[in-house]
């Protein structure tokens, strides 16, 4: 199912972990408006970067989210967050470009210098920018880009 010009529902739900563990990662009907909203916002991300983006994690049902170690309040479980990368540049460069372009988001996280997490809110985009790093074997979130 095509959500926008460049994004499909399959991109939002694809998960090798869900496939391997036989977890049904289908989006509940009541969350489809969120998925469509996030896809529309991703079009703005793609436009700001001027390059395609590859979604590595979009919607996660609660079982999948728990299995990958996500917090129970994760925006992924609401269809309002996406992890991605792009040939535009490093995760830090991508985040800086999105900030400079004025893209509206709730949370933007440069995660372990490997991918970008972006979350959206239909009501209140807080423009929170964080950097996730490992310290003592645990992920910690630092304010700003590092």
Write out pLDDT tens, residues 51-69.
999 999 999 999 999 999 8
Cβ 42 vs Cβ 88: under 8 Å: no
pLDDT of residue 130: 97
Which residue, among 137, 88, 84, has the nearest Cα to 110 in the 3D structure? 84
Residues linked to residue 112 through DSSP beta bridges, in sequence order: none
* Residue-by-residue pLDDT tens, the chain, 146 positions: 999 999 999 999 999 899 999 999 999 999 999 999 999 999 999 999 999 999 999 999 999 999 998 899 999 999 999 999 999 999 999 999 999 999 999 999 999 999 999 999 999 999 999 999 999 988 999 999 99
Residue indicated by tokens 């999948």:
64
pLDDT of residue 103: 97
What is the C-alpha to C-alpha distance for residues 80 and 58, in angstroms, rounded to an integer?
Answer: 8
pLDDT of residue 67: 93
What are the backbone angles phi and psi of residue 119, rounded to the nearest 5°? -120, 150
Which residue, among 22, 130, 129, 41, has the nearest Cα to 79 in the 3D structure? 41
Q: Note if the pTM is more than 0.85.
A: yes
pLDDT of residue 82: 97
Cβ 10 vs Cβ 25: under 8 Å: no
pLDDT of residue 85: 96
pLDDT of residue 112: 93
């Amino acid at each position: 199912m095509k959500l926008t010009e460049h994004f499909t529902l399959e991109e939002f739900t694809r998960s090798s972990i869900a496939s391997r563990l036989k977890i049904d990662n289908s989006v509940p009907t009541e969350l489809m408006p969120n998925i469509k909203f996030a896809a529309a916002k991703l079009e703005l991300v793609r436009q700001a970067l001027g390059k395609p983006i590859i979604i590595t994690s979009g919607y996660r049902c609660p079982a999948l989210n728990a299995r990958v170690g996500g917090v129970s309040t994760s925006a992924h479980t609401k269809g309002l967050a996406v992890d991605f990368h792009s040939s535009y540049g490093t995760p830090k460069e991508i985040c800086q470009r999105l900030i400079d372009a004025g893209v509206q988001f709730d949370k933007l996280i440069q995660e372990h210098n490997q991918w970008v997490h972006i979350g959206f809110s239909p009501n209140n985009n807080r423009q929170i920018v964080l950097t996730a790093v490992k310290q003592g074997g645990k992920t910690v979130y630092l304010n700003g880009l590092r």
